[in-house]
């Protein structure tokens, strides 16, 4: 008997079980910070919706790998695997299963209806919330229905009894489809999923070694959170999570693009471009894009120039001339938004309207004033302007290159002349120009300028960063600060994007020892606590959404760089 390696093991309490391209997952997480006692089929179309509740007929222990989810009660079991992105197959031996509508009440505007289809001999759940159908096809055994065609509060379910082996397929689709073909066995499907994931992880992390034990699971988080084009996401997209953070935010996507660059240049470029597909006439990017909504109430920081430079260095094949030109135009419009619509007349520095614009929603930098000119924004915009200058020169536009360079120089002079006090940077009110100092890590983010900083400023920032460095990484607020909160979002916890930007800036500024320390601590944190949205700076515990792709991507970026730097023995002749 051939034993198939079905990928890394993980807890479905933390990471949803899903498949590349699928818009649904299997998980007990049914809403933000909410775990149900049973696993559910969770759809991410039109939001996050628990559609079907999956309840074994006896208490069972759940185990998961990349290709197989198993409920086990003594020697009895139920197994589930994917048959492509729109179908799951389930089989049971000695253990029955009840599949019920997750919403108890059916009204004309909510809930899930169940009916028997006289054409295909199947049962179909129709979900108002997702606008999709979920067809149950019996392949072996017996199936009974409860509440077919019932309305109101009646239970609506199908039941697979435990007294004989059974097998079914569950499909998600729009309106109609041909009968399920069942042309491959369950074991063949498991092998196919395992092979698909293995191919992905081999391309994504061929460098992995015992020194980087989190690489396979990080790859699974990315692979399983990828969805096919649908709704407003007209490209294949890596969602931030298949928990409740099931969107693409307009800076998170950059880190996923970078992690994918070596493995899949096309998919990486799609990730970078996604928010730009919804750029508004002023040049602004949306705050976020999801299956059924695009939000413009905030923006996100201009990290894209930094990211594009990095991306082009990493891509497994170069961008075409048309792609470079298109990327330049989009980046220029995004930069123009900050220059034309986010600068007080007579000021060189742009401003945020709220902490959410910065991506650091509630950082203490914004405690005294929300509408502020901040050092991080100026630094990121300088990097973006430098990238535009280089792209303009590459595209044969010397006048534009000169103009972008001049603006970058002017903003750099203002950053150092107005926001630097000789010890650290401070924000400034966009209205009255009053300084707004804080102890937030955000105020140290100009380290991203690397060697473009004066040596004394760079050294002072490196020294300031050490106050934020805990055993697990960079706390966004020092743990000895009176404003520190263990689960305070950007008021203490460790975050992946800040780690990546700072580590890169330190390295380019020549502070390689501190950069190595930041990298090592964050990698160890992920290997211990997984790929959460953020982490407790003192304990290292994962916080909030526990399957966050930019965290997985950041781990992969740091791990790959660590492996490249690590000395490897020279093979003997």
Which residue matches tokens 């389930």?
90
What is the three-class DSSP state of 38?
A: strand
Asked if 314 and 262 count as a contact pair (C-beta separation under 8 A), the reply is yes
Residue with tokens 């185990």: 63
List per-residue pLDDT tens for the chain, 573 residues long.
344 677 899 999 999 999 999 999 999 999 999 999 999 999 999 999 999 999 999 999 999 999 999 999 999 999 999 999 999 999 999 999 999 999 888 988 899 999 999 988 999 999 999 999 999 999 999 999 999 999 999 999 999 999 999 999 999 999 999 999 999 999 999 999 999 999 999 999 999 999 999 999 999 999 999 999 999 999 999 999 999 999 999 999 999 999 999 999 999 999 999 999 999 999 999 999 999 999 999 999 999 999 999 999 999 999 999 999 999 999 999 999 999 999 999 999 999 999 999 999 999 999 989 999 999 999 999 999 999 999 999 999 999 999 999 999 999 999 999 999 988 899 999 999 999 889 999 999 999 999 999 999 999 999 999 999 999 999 999 999 999 999 999 999 999 999 999 999 999 999 999 999 999 999 999 999 999 999 999 999 999 999 999 999 999 999 999 999 988 766 655
* DSSP for residue 548: -
Supply the pTM of this predicted model.
0.96
Dig out the tokens for 466 from the structure: 């050490």
Token pair for 147 = 């509440």
Residues in contact with 243: Cβ distance below 8 Å, sequence separation at least 6, in sequence order: 16, 27, 29, 32, 48, 545, 546, 547
Six-digit token string for 94? 């000695």
**In 3D, which of 312, 316, 382 has the Cα closest to residue 349?**
382
State the pairing for strand pair 166-173/87-93.
antiparallel
d(CA 310, CA 554): 13
Token match 């470029």: residue?
A: 269
Q: Tell me, rounded to whole angstroms, the distance of Cα 137 from its chain centroid.
A: 33
Domain spans in the chain, listed from the N-terminal domain onward: 24-177, 446-565
CA count, 13 A, side-chain hemisphere, 503? 25
Cα distance between residue 218 and residue 464, in whole Å: 30
Q: In what order do the strands lie in the sheet with 132-140?
A: 61-64, 69-73, 76-82, 87-93, 166-173, 132-140, 122-127, 112-117
Q: Per DSSP, which regions of 284-387 are E strands?
A: 288-289, 294-295, 372-373
Do residues 224 and 19 lie in contact, with contact meaning Cβ atoms separated by under 8 Å? yes
CA distance 476 to 141: 55
* Contact indicator for 291, 23 with CB cutoff of 8 Å: yes
């Amino acid at each position: 008997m051939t034993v198939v390696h079905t990928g890394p093991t993980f807890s479905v309490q933390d990471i949803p079980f899903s498949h590349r391209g699928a818009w649904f997952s299997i998980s007990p997480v049914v809403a933000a910070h909410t775990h149900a006692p049973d696993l559910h089929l969770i759809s991410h179309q039109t939001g996050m919706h628990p559609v079907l509740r999956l309840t074994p007929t006896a208490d069972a222990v759940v185990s998961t790998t990349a290709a197989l989810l198993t409920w086990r009660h003594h020697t009895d079991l139920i197994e589930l695997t994917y048959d492509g992105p729109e179908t799951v197959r389930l089989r049971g031996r000695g253990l029955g299963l009840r599949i019920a509508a997750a919403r108890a009440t059916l009204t004309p505007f909510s809930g899930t209806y169940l009916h028997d289809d006289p054409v295909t001999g199947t049962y179909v759940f129709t979900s108002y919330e997702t606008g999709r159908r979920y067809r149950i096809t019996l392949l072996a055994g017996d199936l009974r229905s409860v509440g077919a065609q019932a309305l109101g509060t009646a239970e609506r379910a199908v039941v697979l009894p435990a007294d004989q082996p059974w097998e079914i397929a569950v499909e998600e689709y729009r309106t109609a489809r041909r009968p399920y073909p069942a042309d491959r066995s369950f074991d063949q499907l498991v092998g196919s999923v395992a092979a698909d994931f293995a191919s992905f992880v081999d391309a994504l992390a061929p460098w992995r070694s015992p020194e980087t034990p989190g690489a396979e699971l990080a790859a699974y988080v990315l692979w399983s959170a990828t969805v096919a084009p649908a709704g407003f996401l007209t490209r294949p997209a890596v969602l931030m999570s298949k928990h409740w953070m099931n969107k693409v935010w307009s800076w998170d996507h950059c880190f996923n693009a970078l992690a994918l660059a070596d493995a899949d240049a096309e998919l990486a470029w799609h990730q970078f471009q996604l928010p730009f597909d919804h750029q508004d006439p002023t040049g602004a990017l949306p705050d976020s894009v999801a299956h059924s909504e695009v939000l413009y109430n905030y923006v996100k920081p201009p990290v894209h120039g930094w990211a594009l430079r990095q991306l082009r260095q990493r891509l497994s094949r170069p961008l075409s001339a048309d792609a470079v030109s298109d990327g330049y135009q989009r980046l220029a419009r995004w930069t123009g938004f900050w220059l034309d619509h986010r600068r007080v007349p007579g000021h060189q520095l742009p401003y945020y309207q709220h902490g959410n614009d910065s991506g650091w929603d509630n950082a203490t930098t914004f405690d005294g004033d929300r509408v502020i000119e901040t050092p991080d924004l100026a630094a990121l915009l300088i990097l973006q302007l430098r990238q535009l200058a280089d792209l303009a020169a590459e595209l044969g536009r010397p006048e534009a290159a000169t103009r972008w360079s001049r603006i970058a120089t002017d903003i750099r002079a203002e950053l150092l002349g107005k926001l630097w006090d000789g010890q650290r940077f401070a924000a400034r009110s966009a209205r009255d120009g009053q300084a707004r100092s804080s102890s937030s890590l955000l105020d140290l983010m100009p380290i991203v300028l690397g060697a473009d900083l004066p040596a004394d400023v760079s050294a002072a920032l490196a020294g300031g960063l050490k106050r934020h460095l805990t055993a697990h990484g960079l706390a966004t607020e020092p743990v000895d600060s009176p404003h520190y909160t263990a689960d305070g979002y950007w008021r203490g916890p460790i975050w992946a994007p800040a780690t990546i930007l700072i580590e890169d800036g330190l390295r380019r500024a020549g502070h390689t020892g501190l950069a190595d320390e930041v990298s090592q601590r964050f990698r160890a944190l992920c290997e211990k606590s997984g790929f959460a949205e953020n982490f407790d700076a003192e304990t290292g515990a994962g916080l909030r959404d526990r399957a966050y792709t930019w965290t997985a991507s950041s781990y992969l970026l740091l791990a790959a760089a660590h492996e490249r730097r690590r000395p490897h023995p020279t093979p003997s002749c």
